[in-house]
Amino acid sequence: MEQERRHVPTINEIRTEETAALARAATGLCDALGAERVYAATLSPEGVLRFKAAAPASAGSPGSLEPAAVEGIAEAISLAQVSDVPNARPPFSGDGRVVAIPWTYSDRVLGVGVVIMPEGVDLPGDRVLALLGQKVGSTLAALRDCDSLAHRIAQMRDSADLFHSAFESVSDAMKLIDLDGHILRWNKASECMYGWAAVDVLGKKIPHVPEALRLRTIRDIRAIAAGGTTVERESAALKADGSRIMAQITVVPFLDSEGDPAGVLSIAREVRIPGAETVDTDVCALLADAVAAPMGSLVGYAQLLLQTDIFEDPNRRKRTVRVIEEYTNTITTLMNDVALISGGREGLLELETIDASILVTDAVGRVEQQHAGAYRFMIDYDSASSPVRLDRRRMQRALASVLEAMLDGRPKGTEAIVSIVPFGTGVCVEFSLGSNGGSPGLAPSGYATLGVHIARVIVESHGGSLSVGDQNSGVSFRIVLPGEAG
């Protein structure tokens, strides 16, 4: 049977109970001592007395006052002991004795009671009165503790509301993940980025992480949570439709109420090429996408050769074989590209010093020949540009891949502009489209996207960088390469 949850009183409930407790104390003292009137007050942290109850009720309340305003009350508070109130002024005055009884708890004064006795009625000894004051003080102390707890709970609720509001309103995908990889929170931006609704992923193990990476990711989550240090990284992510994206992720450890590691807050933002559906993901996924189409066509045309009417017709057979050769060359080029970036990652670069203009001219010639004059190219070269030291064959492939990606899907006659300018001690190669570049926002094909991935790996293996930026007519690229000394 589930244990019943304990009710935590609100601040207003506690304040109401405090006033009721003081009223009971005032009435009890008035009846027990035969007093004319009793006023009961609490002492605020600022040292102000707030009279909240009186007995009989018709006596009214003096409100708030500084203890020093009444001699005797100030002494009772400062000495934490029962004190007479001489020369008391209304309403603290009577025909008999007037006494201030401090409400004490653990040597703290939490308030005071002022007892006005009628003429001829004696009070018990100060020790008895002090014990009565301690009893009231312990009640106030318990209520103060509850009050403090209620404040903390209210602050926690406010903080939780603020966190929830921020969690749901930010544009970045945010997830709370426990040490076993279970999703605890999944905001609306995560729903948009990954394609799963929160209700479908809560409690599940990191569905947005490719299955082959999940065990390693959970180990990383535990290490980051235990280490207490925020980590930033790029990682492949999985979408609900099975496609992959590359995300820039910030992973922040969080602790439970006992201060122990409880999991991580993951903040992700998709890294994307403007206009592209898929982006710079792992090379295996991109290669599979790029190879799928030519491989399917290759199989289809190979089957055509088995048909008698095509096999026995020399012209039709020749055309079919030519198409098969073209698709075979495409697949071979893809494999060669993968070999190129693999060599670059392993540091197997064959470096030589070369003028950037020669490099760009060779890459442009390669693309121009591939497309048989379908596009026009203009090279703008600043003669002040420094020579660069790099692997000529790999860098030519990188430059050609960027050109191919920029021209992918563009109409015939499109003009591509390649500018070479000094950049620090190195050079900057900028690729952009002329005014006849066609419709903006065209999405690169699988092969073009793979080409950008290949180019980025090659450029970065040389210590350079490749960036992609919007252009009114499509996409522009910038490659920065260090100089010969860099």
When pLDDT is cut at 50, 70 and 90, the band that residue 1 belongs to is very low
Higher pLDDT, 348 or 380: 380
When pLDDT is cut at 50, 70 and 90, the band that residue 197 belongs to is very high
Residue 182 has what pLDDT? 92
Closest to 62 in 3D by CA, of 53, 73, 75: 53
Residue 254 has what pLDDT? 79
Mean of pLDDT values over 286-301: 58
Residue 174 has what pLDDT? 83
Mean of pLDDT values over 109-116: 89
Backbone angles phi, psi at 177, to 5 degrees: -130, 135
Q: Per-residue pLDDT for 162 more than 60? A: no
Closest to 343 in 3D by CA, of 308, 395, 270, 419: 395
Higher pLDDT, 260 or 438: 260
Determine the Cα–Cα distance for residues 196 and 211; give it in Å rounded to an integer. 16
When pLDDT is cut at 50, 70 and 90, the band that residue 433 belongs to is confident
Q: Per-residue pLDDT for 479 more than 60? A: yes
Q: Per-residue pLDDT for 339 more than 80? A: no
Closest to 341 in 3D by CA, of 446, 246, 457: 457
Q: Which CATH class is domain 171-271?
A: alpha beta
Contact in structure between 63 and 51 (CB atoms under 8 Å): yes
Closest to 434 in 3D by CA, of 472, 399, 408, 467: 472
> What pLDDT digit, counting tens, does each position of 417-428 carry?
888 888 777 788
Residue 279 has what pLDDT? 39
In the CATH hierarchy, which fold is given to the domain comprising 11-150?
A: Beta-Lactamase (3.30.450)
In the CATH hierarchy, which fold is given to the domain comprising 351-481?
A: Heat Shock Protein 90 (3.30.565)
Q: Per-residue pLDDT for 25 more than 70? A: yes
Closest to 222 in 3D by CA, of 210, 235, 231: 231
Same fold, 11-150 and 351-481: no
Q: Per-residue pLDDT for 466 more than 80? A: yes
The residues spanned by each domain of the chain are: 11-150, 171-271, 283-345, 351-481
Q: Per-residue pLDDT for 409 more than 70? A: yes
Tokens of 75: 């002494």
Residue 264 has what pLDDT? 86
Mean of pLDDT values over 431-448: 57
Closest to 292 in 3D by CA, of 443, 406, 452, 447: 447
pTM over 0.85: no
Determine the Cα–Cα distance for residues 39 and 92; give it in Å rounded to an integer. 9
Mean of pLDDT values over 22-37: 87
> What pLDDT digit, counting tens, does each position of 66-87 carry?
766 677 888 888 888 888 888 7
Q: Per-residue pLDDT for 400 more than 50? A: yes
Contact in structure between 395 and 458 (CB atoms under 8 Å): yes
> What pLDDT digit, counting tens, does each position of 132-150 carry?
888 888 887 777 666 555 5
